[in-house]
Each structure stands twice: as structure tokens, then as C-alpha cells.
Amino acid sequence: MSFTDYERAQSLLYEFVGKTLSAIEADEYQLRLMFEEQIEFVTHSPWRLTRRDALLMGGGDIGGQSTISEGILKSLHNLKLTSCSVSRIGDTRLLLESDYVIEVISDSVQFETWEAHIKAGWTVFAGGSITVFPPRA
């Protein structure tokens, strides 16, 4: 990943910092985090949820154990995102209040790792590069 793409991805994700998580949708294909001000973070890549170094669940847990998964995901509602980071290999970390961490694992150089629907537009992070499609005028 170029330093410019890394910095740009990081700066675009900062728009989520301080925002409250208002809804979560998860299925076997994606995780969608909806925040106040109608901004969203969506991933189709592998992800996991941890708290204080304990693995609570991951993308593979959606489906068969839906009642357990739903309860865990509901515990994230109304928490604020306190920080975020993108590693040099594209893994993304979202830190919520109460020590909850959502980690998205970049597992492809060809396909998207995540997308963000923010004020700047529809943002796609794929293969270590970032593309922003500005909103319609």
C-alpha cells in the first residue's frame, strides 16, 4: 500500500471517530455498521469482534448461532467509535467504547476490504488503495 493511500484511508475513517453506532446488520456475506449522521462502514472481508483480548465472535459465527450473535452485536448499540486504524497491509481496526474492537482482515489484493458511506462520498478500500466516488450534486 502506498503511503498516500494509507494516509487517505486513515483520514477518511476518522470521520467515524466520536460517532455513535446506531444499528448493525450482519449475515454470512457482510457486516454493516450504521452510525449517526447516516454514515456507514461495510465489509465483505473476514472480521472479528474482541473485548479485552477475548474473541467474542467473528464473521463465520453468523448464521447457525444467530441468537448468540444477535445478543453480542446488540451490546454494541449506542457505543461511540473512539479510534480507528489501518495497518500497512490493510487490516482495519475500529475501537468502540467499553474496549470492544472490530478487526477487518484484508484477505485480497484484488477485492474490496471495506467500503464507507460518508460525507465525502462512497469510499472503497481494495487491494491497499482507496477510491472515493463523490456524492451526486
Domain boundaries, the chain: 3-133
Question: Residue length, the chain?
Answer: 137
pLDDT of residue 1: 59
pTM of the model: 0.91
123 compared with 28, residue with greater pLDDT? 123
pLDDT of residue 65: 53
Scanning the chain, the segments in alpha helix (DSSP H) are 3-13, 66-74
C-alpha cell at 93: 481496526
Instruction: Return the CA Rg of the chain.
Output: 14
Over residues 69-125, the pLDDT tens digits come to: 778 888 999 999 999 999 988 899 999 999 999 999 999 988 999 999 999 999 999
Q: Which of 56-60, 103-107, 133-137 has the lowest mean pLDDT?
A: 133-137
